[in-house]
Structures are given as structure tokens and as C-alpha cells.
Amino acid sequence: MKGWTLAADIPLSLPNLEETLQKIDNKVAEAGGRLYLAKDSRQSASMFHRTYSELDQWQVMQKSMDPKKVFYSDLARRIQLI
């Protein structure tokens, strides 16, 4: 995907941080972007499913390669990847 990446370290103590980040998430999704999974620690499953358009294709591959769901992570559970 063409575009640019923005990374920011933000103190957890900022007031209304989660609400602000959710608003930014929505702007990213509306612009056709997505959150970078390798740096993500908070994106919701709904945000992930909304922004990764090839998810269905990936899940077909994942089911054929790992039908017993042996390989998964906390991230995969959080964003309901598997």
C-alpha cells in the first residue's frame, strides 16, 4: 500500500487519550489507511476488520495452513484474527 507511516509515543496519563485515539483511528479508516500491526498495542477488532480488506483471503490461507489454530498470539486474539 502506498502512503506514509506515522509513529508517536504518547504518555498514557493524557486526559481522554483513548477517546482521542479512537477518533484518530476513525480518520485513518475513513482515509483508507490502517494501523500498523507490528507497532499496535490497542486497536480494536472492529478497527482491524474494517481496515484490512484482504482479511478473508488471509483467513482462508490460515485455515489451510493451521486448521487446529496452533499458532496464534495475544494480538491475534485481541483483534479476532483467528
pTM for the predicted model, two decimal places? 0.81
65: confidence class by pLDDT, cuts 50, 70, 90: very high
Host domain of residue 48: 17-78
| C-alpha distance across the termini of the chain, in Å | 23
CA 75 – CA 65 distance, rounded (Å): 19
3 domain residue, yes or no = no
CA 59 – CA 57 distance, rounded (Å): 5
> What is the per-residue pLDDT across 18-51, written as a single tens digit (0 to 9) for each?
999 999 999 999 999 999 888 888 999 999 999 9
12 domain residue, yes or no = no
CA 18 – CA 27 distance, rounded (Å): 14
Residue with cell 496464534: 72
pLDDT exceeds 90 at position 1: no
Residue 41: the pLDDT is: 87
Residue 70: the pLDDT is: 92
What is the count of structural domains for the chain?
1
53 domain residue, yes or no = yes
